[in-house]
Amino acid sequence: MALLDFLQPQNNKAGGGGDNNPSLSNQLLTLTDVIAPSAINISPRSINISGVNARVYYAVSYPRFLNDGWMEPVLNLAKEIDVSIFIHPIDTAETLKKFQKKVAEVQSQINVKADRGEVRDPQLEAAYRNLEDLRDKLQQAEEKLFNVGFYLTIYGESEAEINKVENDIRGILDARMVAMKPALFQQEQGLKSVLPLSNDELLVHSKFNSEPLSSFFPFTSFDLTSDTGILYGINRHNSSLVLFDRYSLTNYNSVTFATSGAGKSYGLKLEILRSLMFGTEVIVLDPEREYEYLAEATGGRFFNISLSSNHHINPFDLPPPGDDEDPRDVLRTHIIEMVGLFRLMLGGLSAEEETLIDLAIQETYALKDITGDTDFTDMEPPLLTDFEMVLAGMDGSSSLITRLQKYTSGTWSGFMNQPTNVDINQKFVVFSLRDMEDELKTIAMYIITNFIWGSVRRRLAKRLMVIDEAWWMMKSEDTASFLFSLAKRGRKYYLGIATITQDVDDFLRSPYGVPMITNSSIQLLMKQSPTAIDNIQRTFNLTDEEKFLLLESSVGEGIFFAGLKHVAIKIIASYTEDQIITSDPSQLLQIKKAREELQATRV
């Protein structure tokens, strides 16, 4: 039964032993009534089904050679497209008879030209060789012949939208010398041919033998497998390896978004472990003390930053000027960053207060003979108490001093009012902020990242800086601006910034949220909450299928973006790696118990 005939509502008819009541019969809904469209409008170039426009095309010619995956750019378009490929076998015996006749015709033309003394025709000779070669393969059953129909349907809300998609597809296929035409006055037959009913009603065919026909294989997916880099996971579409080197992209930054417990920290710890094997230096800002065991297992350094900690970082430390840098510019940039820090510490600054702070910072450095005209590489920097002393000598600074005293002599003076005693010239360094008060976490992250940035500029090396729960830094415009400047300038110093966050809305609410994403060549999206998924879909231009994939993903699953490609990924680790990087409380208890038992056995 034809499709449109099938979709027409049909009345039930009384049969032997059936219900003979016509009124009851007319009241029953059939399957046809349920699935039939409300209206169909067929025009010469398109067909409208219940308000949705569609246009069917068929292929009329192909190049002499078809490369594998020639359909891939069309199939991977972010458009609603249906493709049907009909393959009809041709009887080999009948074909061989026609081939023999065709070969004789071509051979006769070659002989006639030779008898006349005409210049040989390379195209004719190539056709003869191809025919002979194909005839031999057919006779030996190495090849078979097929009639192949390639049909494609484009959908859109309007004719203009369909025309735009048509231009995109024509551009792709014309570059591959595949010519498509709309099924004029055959849109109904074309739609029936494209729908999954196995009915070829267009009957527009081209002949192919087995070898070029294999290029029509439609099941393609992007691979992210390269010769260098580390293993990020498994491609869930085709089980290929997702091997990639972040340092081969235009920038080395990445962002990771996921709900709590989705495996985002697990995935980054796995990347850290594998990056260390290739000589990459890694620095981590850890707000929850999740990376301590990883640092211990790899011989790294772990600094627990808190008000009572013995580890201190002096925010007045200056980065040494590079060979191509003017000391004046280095000092000026650091003073601007210090003004941003004080704006954060003191709860905002008025225009007059900001001017006072700026002048006081310059005077504080001048007390230690640090100016733009001196080489301050090995000079001892001032402390926060020195700044307080200078500020006290300025008119109109009483309010600033009152707010500053809790950092110099109050309860919050332990962390930043001491000379720096932290050395990060190690392969792996972790700064834990779990024991730092929440009010100071953003300030501490600003100071630490500024200190790391100064250390990075001292020595060129391949480095990765991981900022877990980066939404803490996106809460303030000053910290978010500084993080964004690191993301933009890091490439010059061979530094990649990897930010991880579970509070997607807080991250994107910052004016620097979307710029951070666009300046990150790698993005990893894992399981998302229903409240955040719409924001994620808009930001990353996800299809509805990708949106639902993120909602339904299991732990360690998601979508991995690298440059212009993206794949569905599953992060996997070996048993040994898993024991080192796991954050699962039940596993951690088992590991702790096993270690205690081992120590007791040794005693």
* 379, 383, 388, 393 alpha-carbon torsion, rounded to 10°: -20
Using CA atoms, how far residue 155 sits from 84, 370, 547, in Å, is 14, 68, 21
The tokens for 53 are 């426009």
The tokens for 92 are 């080999």
Percent above pLDDT 70 for the chain: 90
Least confident of 424-438, 520-534, 574-588: 574-588
pLDDT given at position 92: 72
Q: Which domain holds residue 103?
A: 57-216
Angstrom distance (rounded) from CA 282 to CA 133: 60
Same domain assignment for residues 437 and 331: no
Question: Which long-range CB contacts under 8 A does 535-544 form with residues at least 24 apart?
Answer: 535/504, 535/505, 535/508, 536/257, 536/504, 539/508, 539/514, 541/78, 543/78
CATH number for the domain that contains residue 408:
1.10.8.730
Q: Which residues pair with 303 in a beta bridge?
A: 431
Closest by CA position to 448, among listed 463, 436, 460: 436
Same domain assignment for residues 152 and 196: yes
Same domain assignment for residues 481 and 538: yes
Residue 211 resides in a domain: yes
Q: Per-residue pLDDT for 263 more than 60?
A: yes
**Going along 10-118, which residue ranges are E strands?**
40-42, 47-49, 52-61, 81-89
Angstrom distance (rounded) from CA 363 to CA 308: 30
pLDDT given at position 10: 42
Same domain assignment for residues 450 and 522: yes
Q: What is the mean pLDDT of residues 313-318?
A: 88
Residue 586 resides in a domain: no
Q: Per-residue pLDDT for 336 more than 70?
A: yes
pLDDT given at position 475: 81
Residue 39 resides in a domain: no
pLDDT given at position 26: 59
167 CB-near residues (< 8 Å, 6+ apart): none
Q: Per-residue pLDDT for 14 more than 60?
A: no
Same domain assignment for residues 82 and 208: yes
Q: Is the distance from CB of 32 to CB of 7 less than 8 angstroms?
A: yes
Return phi, psi of residue 34, to 5°: -75, -45
Q: Per-residue pLDDT for 536 more than 80?
A: yes
How far is residue 296 CA from its own chain's centroid?
A: 31
Residue 584 resides in a domain: no
CATH number for the domain that contains residue 231:
3.40.50.300
Mean pLDDT over the full length of the chain: 83
Closest by CA position to 365, among listed 335, 410, 327: 335
pLDDT given at position 31: 77
Q: Is the distance from CB of 511 to CB of 479 less than 8 angstroms?
A: no
Using CA atoms, how far residue 487 sits from 108, 251, 331, in Å, is 71, 8, 21
Residue 241 resides in a domain: yes
Same domain assignment for residues 439 and 477: yes
* pLDDT (tens digit per residue) in 186-240: 988 988 888 888 888 899 998 887 778 888 877 655 566 677 788 999 888 777 8
Same domain assignment for residues 306 and 339: no
Using CA atoms, how far residue 344 sits from 174, 450, 480, 590, in Å, is 58, 14, 11, 42
pLDDT given at position 222: 59
User: Could you say which of 178, 196, 216 is where a domain stops?
Assistant: 216
* pLDDT (tens digit per residue) in 31-46: 777 777 778 888 888 8
Q: Is the distance from CB of 436 to CB of 308 less than 8 angstroms?
A: no
First to last CA, the chain: 84
Same domain assignment for residues 133 and 281: no
User: Could you say which of 149, 181, 216 is where a domain stops?
Assistant: 216
The tokens for 487 are 């993301």
pLDDT given at position 8: 46
Exposed, middle or buried by CB within 10 Å (0-12, 13-18, 19+), for 232?
Answer: buried
Q: Per-residue pLDDT for 144 more than 70?
A: yes
* 594, 595, 597, 603 alpha-carbon torsion, rounded to 10°: 160
Same domain assignment for residues 439 and 404: no
* pLDDT (tens digit per residue) in 359-389: 999 999 988 888 878 877 778 889 889 998 9
Residues in the chain: 603
* 223, 228, 234, 237 alpha-carbon torsion, rounded to 10°: 0
Angstrom distance (rounded) from CA 339 to CA 331: 12
pLDDT given at position 67: 79
Using CA atoms, how far residue 213 sits from 74, 209, 441, in Å, is 17, 6, 62
Same domain assignment for residues 384 and 470: no
Residue 368 resides in a domain: yes
Q: Per-residue pLDDT for 82 more than 70?
A: yes
Same domain assignment for residues 320 and 331: yes
The tokens for 402 are 């009152």
pLDDT given at position 463: 92
DSSP state of 85: E
| Longest Cα separation, the chain | 111
User: Could you say which of 170, 186, 216 is where a domain stops?
Assistant: 216
Percent above pLDDT 90 for the chain: 13
Same domain assignment for residues 319 and 345: yes
Least confident of 20-29, 377-386, 403-412, 553-562: 20-29
Angstrom distance (rounded) from CA 231 to CA 244: 7
Q: Specify the residue for token string 């950092």.
A: 407
> The whole model's pTM is what?
0.64
Question: Which long-range CB contacts under 8 A does 9-17 form with residues at least 24 apart?
Answer: 9/33, 9/36
Q: Specify the residue for token string 């000391």.
A: 327
Q: Per-residue pLDDT for 7 more than 80?
A: no
Residue 364 resides in a domain: yes
What is the pLDDT confidence band of residue 496, given thresholds at 50, 70 and 90? Answer: very high
pLDDT given at position 435: 87
Residue 42 resides in a domain: no
Least confident of 5-14, 87-96, 311-320: 5-14
* pLDDT (tens digit per residue) in 341-351: 898 888 888 88
Q: Per-residue pLDDT for 23 more than 60?
A: no
Return phi, psi of residue 81, to 5°: -135, 140
What is the pLDDT confidence band of residue 22, given thresholds at 50, 70 and 90? Answer: low
Angstrom distance (rounded) from CA 245 to CA 267: 15
How many structural domains compose the chain?
3
